[in-house]
Amino acid sequence: MTATLRTYKFLVVPVVQQVDEHGTVVAELQPPQPDNVFGVDGLHRYADGFEAKLAAQLAELQNGGGPVERIPVPAER
């Protein structure tokens, strides 16, 4: 019997940058846990809907909800 491999699950850690009014990166933001995405089709759907999901999460954060880990970005030298 020959074993086959199939794509099952992706663990996606979306990281977004926070920028100031000049476009300088001041922080990176990411959720405390990765998102689970099942199969390649699920990964495509995740990517296609990412910007809308990010906008909804930003609105939620501005209303005081949702855990996000803020990662300071070191200043460039």
pLDDT tens digits, one per residue of 17-29: 888 999 999 988 8
How does the average pLDDT of the chain come out, rounded? 82
Question: Is the pLDDT at 8 greater than 70, yes or no?
Answer: yes
Q: Distance between CA 77 and CA 70 in Å, rounded?
A: 21
pLDDT band, residue 31 (cuts 50/70/90): confident
Question: Is the pLDDT at 72 greater than 80, yes or no?
Answer: no
pLDDT band, residue 77 (cuts 50/70/90): very low
Domain positions in the chain are: 24-72
* Phi and psi based region of residue 55 (left: phi greater than 0; alpha: psi -120 to 50; beta: remaining): alpha
Mean pLDDT of 1-26: 90
